Amino acid sequence: MAKRSTEAQLVHPFPAFWDGQSEVLILGSFPSPKSREMAFFYGHPQNRFWRVVAGLYGDPFPGTVDERSAFLRRHHLALWDVIASCRIVGASDSSIRDAVPNDIRPILEGAKIRGIYVNGQTAFRLYQKYLLPEIGREAVCLPSTSPANAAWSLERLMEAWSVILDK
């Protein structure tokens, strides 16, 4: 007999970050427990997202939510996640079940997004399944900045992620 999950469906606890000046949309899968606790993107101290993007733009590491928000505005970056609600075990993207996608059309209609990028294979797979058929815009899959992606050094991540600067 299959084991049934007693875990509740989690709902994304904070809004997308974007404004009318946003040019690059970066999508994750679903926020980790640390991000949900912080109520902002990439809150786990071992996630390398903020180190990667700060390094790409030559900025100091933005440690607080206010610093991160200012960084995103300054560099015209929008952040959101593919999934609006799901069942998930801890921060394990591979455990995502019963996913309900976010609607990214308001961002695409309200900003001049020149490129959509996804942070990792799971986010890319979810994007392909749920969002691509709805919006018809391809996304570029970037290597995950998660600490689970230990095979990628910070330098290698920065090289791969430098494509967000190209468009």
Point out the residues that are catalytic.
47
Question: Stretch 42-51: mean pLDDT, rounded?
Answer: 95
User: Could you give the domains of the chain?
Assistant: 18-165 (3.40.470.10)
Sign of CA dihedral 119, 124, 129, 133: positive
pLDDT over threshold 50, residue 29: yes
Its pTM stands at 0.92
Give residue-wise pLDDT tens across range 117-166: 999 999 999 999 999 999 999 999 999 999 889 999 999 999 999 999 97
10-20 confidence digits (pLDDT tens): 999 999 999 99
Residues 6+ apart with CB under 8 A from 154: 48, 51, 52, 55
CA distance 127 to 99: 11
